[in-house]
């Protein structure tokens, strides 16, 4: 299955759905900060996410209980790959260097990550 890139609004709805695991529209709306989007707006986003095969739903009377079809990990991996490809010439080294230069990642954090990776086996 080809995972497409989501819009910011679609990503926000997916973040809430990943957090909730399964939810009705009203449950998702509750997680939005004020001012909350209109019900129709979130409903439309959920329909788009269904069309993109990111979510599906079970019908309970007139309500739909939505659940994710794509895991957060799978989408995050695809997004990271796309980010590195589009902004860092496909080089993860360039991406990490960028984070260190901007003080988003310290050398100490990087060393800790490397030690964790070495000890993972």
Average per-residue pLDDT for the chain: 91
User: Helices in the chain by DSSP H: which ranges?
Assistant: 8-20, 25-31, 39-51, 72-87, 92-101, 107-118
For residue 35, the domain's CATH number is 1.10.10.10
Query: Do residues 58 and 65 lie in contact, with contact meaning Cβ atoms separated by under 8 Å?
Result: yes
- Which H or E run includes 64? strand 63-68
pTM of the model: 0.77
Q: What is the pLDDT of residues 23-59, one digit of tens each?
A: 999 999 999 999 999 999 999 999 999 999 999 999 9
> Does residue 93 form part of some domain?
yes
Domain of 106, in residue numbers: 88-118
> Does residue 79 form part of some domain?
no
Number of domains in the chain: 2
> Does residue 14 form part of some domain?
yes
């Amino acid at each position: 299955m080809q995972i497409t890139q989501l819009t910011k609004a679609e990503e926000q709805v997916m973040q809430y759905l990943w957090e909730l695991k399964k939810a009705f529209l009203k449950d998702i709306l509750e997680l939005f900060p004020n001012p909350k989007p209109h019900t129709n707006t979130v409903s439309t986003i959920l329909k788009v996410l269904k069309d993109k095969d990111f979510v599906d739903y079970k019908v309970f009377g007139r309500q739909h209980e939505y659940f994710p079809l794509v895991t957060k990990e799978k989408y995050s991996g695809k997004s990271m790959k796309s980010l590195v490809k589009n902004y860092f010439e496909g080089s993860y080294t360039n991406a990490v260097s960028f984070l260190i230069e901007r003080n988003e990642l310290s050398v100490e954090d990087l060393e800790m990550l490397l030690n964790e990776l070495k000890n993972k086996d």
